[in-house]
Amino acid sequence: MIWNPEHECMNVDSLRALQFARLKNLVERVYNTVPFYKEKLDKAGVKPSDIKCLADISKLPFTTKTDLRDTYPYGLLAVPQSEIVEIHMSSGTTGTPVVDAYTAKDLDDWAEGMARTLSGAGATHNDTIQNAYGYGLFTGGMGVHHGARKLGATVIPISSGNTQKQLMLMRDFKSNLFTCTPSYAMYMAEQAKEMGVDVKKLSLRAACLGAEPWSEGMRNQIESAWGIKAYDIYGLTEITGPGVAFECEAQYGMHVNEDLWFPEIIDPETEQPVPDGEKGELVITTITKEGTPLIRYRTRDITFIITEPCACGRTTRKIHRLFGRTDDMLIIRGVNVFPSQIENALVDIQGVEPNYLIVVNRNEETHLDEAELHVEVSAEQFTDETKGMEALRNTISSVMKSKLGIMLKVKLVEPKSIERSTGKAKRVIDNRKL
Ligand code: DLL
């Protein structure tokens, strides 16, 4: 179902005109109200009046995560604090959180983005949505919640974890759709099997999964384990949260809610825009945001704009499933490796689970990087017989060599020995002191 045909199926010229009007208004607003932006634009020699068409967006300077940290907590507010009704934040590696502050109108836009997202997965006001994203400062829980309220569905705010109760409520309240990270969806299915619960007998039709990279292979596994359709959804705290982009029934690429969040793809090195269809870093401008608007925010996420029109009828542009983040990319002996590539390769190998951990060390003597890939063997395959395990290890090694171009030391570990996550899974332990 298309939640908002007026905006989601808008004539493209009208959509560009709307985006331009909103962009112009945004630049004027922040220039006049946020000293940080006035300084940034002055330094770049750009005045709001220089924005004469949508393409002029490329004249504007980028905003980065460091800018957000440097202005913590409220340095980017574009409205009086009395107008802020909710805040969220995420903490990253340095510990200083990045903050997103919302006015009532911002919450409404967020709910709109999420209502479109849930509708994209087929949800209607008749459905019961079990929300297993974490509630709190993380945007997953509240984002789905606001969207489900707008849709008029019944929302079960169970939050993440407590798998036994998740399964019980799915059964008792006949949940039709659930939302969580892909790794938690896998884990729940695994637990259900152990508890003797047949999840295919539940009333579930679909799941909206995101907040971490996952692969097509993982999608297939989740869909067949649950007997549902699994949809990819995307967003980030800085840019409001989930609801920025979502998959429709075509399940190929995520429609960006671009009347609210304007996307660009740039080459992360040269910082120049790349043509549609070419991979690069996603940059987003929050064209309607009031609380903490962001101009040309560098997401660090790698994707491309899909050029073919979508059969679903939406005219909003789609981004491809994410390839990873520029800052999660491991450079092992000069070769760029994304954890999601490893997952993609693993799902095709018989006898292993897509549960893995990459441990990277730097050899003290040779100063070379050594990556060890810990892979869980499936319960059916696991034996004490060394020959069989040795053969499996060799298979994984050679698949990695041919798909990633590097030799990884492979360590097979016992079924269920890699820590499970009810939120975002941790895939990399980097012990290098870089
Ligand atoms: O993860 C928001 C969210 C919640 C999205 C629920 C989807 C569902 P953050 O914690 O700020 O916000 O993390 C944002 O997670 O920049 C991506 O690197 C990654 N990410 C989010 N969705 C996807 C996805 C939420 N579908 C960061 N595929 C983003 C791959 C994703 N990576």
Task: Check whether residue 226 and residue 94 sit in a common domain.
Answer: yes
Same-domain check for residues 217 and 308: yes
Closest CA to 361 of 431, 415, 424: 431
pLDDT in the model for residue 93: 59
pLDDT attached to residue 380: 83
> Is there an atom of ligand 1 within 6 Å of 294 CB?
no
Question: Domain count of the chain?
Answer: 2
**Mean pLDDT in residue range 59-68:** 97
CA of 80 to the centre of ligand 1 (A): 29
Shared domain for 311 and 202, answered yes or no, is yes
Report which protein residue has its CA nearest ligand 1's atom 27: 236
Same domain, 295 and 217: yes
Ligand 1 neighbourhood includes 343 CB (under 6 angstroms): no
Q: Structural domain of residue 413, as residue ranges?
A: 335-430
Cβ of 134 less than 6 Å from ligand 1:
no
Region for residue 301 given its phi and psi (left: phi exceeds 0; alpha: psi -120 to 50; beta: otherwise) = beta
Task: Tell me, letter by letter, the H, E, C secondary structure of 212-279.
Answer: CCCCHHHHHHHHHHHCCEEEEEEEEHHHCEEEEEEECCCCCCEEECCCCEEEEEECCCCCCECCCCCC
Q: How far is the CA of 212 from the centre of ligand 1 (A)?
A: 5
Among 13-17, 58-62, 105-109, 417-421, whose mean pLDDT is lowest? 417-421
The CATH number for 98's domain is 3.40.50.12780
CATH code for the domain of 388: 3.30.300.30
CA distance 342 to 413: 16
Instruction: Give, for ligand 1, the residue of 236, 304, 344 to mutate: max count of ligand atoms closer than 8 Å to Cβ.
Output: 236
- In 3D space, the residue among 175, 179, 111, 185 whose CA is nearest the CA of residue 148 turns out to be 111
Least confident of 9-13, 101-105, 327-331: 327-331
Arithmetic mean of pLDDT, 326-349: 84
342 and 321 both lie in a single domain: no
Measured in angstroms, how far is the CA atom of residue 142 from the centroid of ligand 1? 14
Ligand 1 atom with the smallest distance to the CA of 144 is 6
In the listed set 306, 327, 348, which residue is the last one of a domain according to the structure?
Answer: 327
- pLDDT reported for residue 98: 94
Distance 28 CA to ligand 1 centre (A): 29
Q: Is 422 in the pocket of ligand 1 (CB under 6 A)?
A: no
Give the pLDDT confidence score for residue 205 in this predicted structure.
Answer: 98
Supply angle C-alpha 58, 62, 67, rounded to 5: 165
260 & 154 share domain: yes
By most ligand atoms within 8 Å of CB, the mutation choice from 177, 234, 244, 319 for ligand 1 is: 234
Select from 356, 343, 353 the least CA-distant residue to 399: 343
Q: Is 236 in the pocket of ligand 1 (CB under 6 A)?
A: yes
In degrees and rounded to multiples of 5, residue 429 shows phi and psi of -120, 110
318 and 371 belong to one structural domain? no
Distance 181 CA to ligand 1 centre (A): 9
**Does the pLDDT value for residue 92 go beyond 70?**
no
Nearest residue (CA) to ligand 1, atom 21: 211
Strand runs (DSSP E) across 287-395, as ranges?
297-303, 305-306, 318-319, 324-325, 330-332, 335-337, 352-362, 369-377
Same domain, 151 and 289: yes
Q: Are 86 and 107 in contact (CB under 8 A)?
A: yes
Does pLDDT of 38 surpass 70? yes
The C-alpha atoms of residue 241 and residue 256 are separated, in whole angstroms, by 13
pLDDT at site 265: 98
What integer pLDDT is reported at residue 99 of this predicted model? 96
CA of 241 relative to ligand 1 center, distance in Å: 8
Atom of ligand 1 nearest to the CA of 98: 11
Distance separating alpha carbons of residues 26 and 64, to the nearest angstrom? 18
Residue 94: what pLDDT? Answer: 66
Q: What does the alpha-carbon distance between residue 143 and residue 177 come to, in Å, rounded to a whole number?
A: 15
Q: How far is the CA of 125 from the centre of ligand 1 (A)?
A: 25
**Helices H / strands E in the chain, number of each:** 11, 21
Q: Provide the percentage of residues in the chain whose pLDDT is more than 90.
A: 81
Which one, of 326, 324, 327, 336, lies nearest residue 369 by Cα? 336
For residue 400, how far is its CA from the centre of ligand 1 (angstroms)? 26
The strand pairing partners of 130, in sequence order, are: 156, 178
User: Which candidate, 60, 23, 54, 58, places its Cα nearest to that of 40?
Assistant: 60
Task: Please give the Cα distance from 199 to 204 (Å, whole number).
Answer: 8
What residue owns the CA closest to ligand 1's atom 1?
211
401 φ, ψ (degrees, to nearest 5) = -60, -45
Q: Bridge-partner residues for 337, per DSSP?
A: 330
Triad 234, 208, 352: Cα angle to 5°? 95
Q: Dihedral (C-alpha) 174, 177, 179, 182: value to the nearest 10 degrees?
A: 110
User: 412 and 354, same structural domain?
Assistant: yes
pLDDT in tens, 255-305: 999 999 999 999 999 999 999 999 999 999 999 999 999 999 999 999 999
Per-residue pLDDT band for 387 (boundaries 50, 70, 90) equals confident
Q: pLDDT band at 101, cuts 50/70/90?
A: very high
Q: Is the CB of residue 249 less than 8 Å from the CB of residue 312?
A: yes
Report the b/e string of 118-142 with b at 16+ CB within 10 A. bbbbbbeeebbbbbbbbeebbbbbb
User: How many percent of the chain have pLDDT more than 70?
Assistant: 99
Is the Cα dihedral 394, 397, 400, 404 positive or negative?
negative
Q: With contact defined as beta carbons under 8 Å apart, do 62 and 298 qualify?
A: yes
Residue range 182-206: mean pLDDT, rounded: 96
Q: Whose CA is nearest to atom 16 of ligand 1?
A: 236
CA of 332 to the centre of ligand 1 (A): 25
pTM confidence score:
0.94
Same domain, 342 and 322: no
Last residue of a domain, one of 327, 344, 359: 327
Cα–Cα nearest to 382, from 358, 345, 350? 350
| Ligand 1 center from residue 237 Cα (angstroms) | 8
* Residue 358 shares a structural domain with residue 321: no
Which amino acid would we find at residue 202? L
- Other C-beta atoms within 10 Å of 368: how many? 10
User: Same domain, yes or no, for 259 and 368?
Assistant: no
pLDDT at 322 over 90: yes
The values of phi and psi at residue 325, to 5°, are: -115, 145
Ligand 1: atom nearest CA of 321 is 28
Instruction: Give the residue from 309, 327, 345 where a domain finishes.
Output: 327
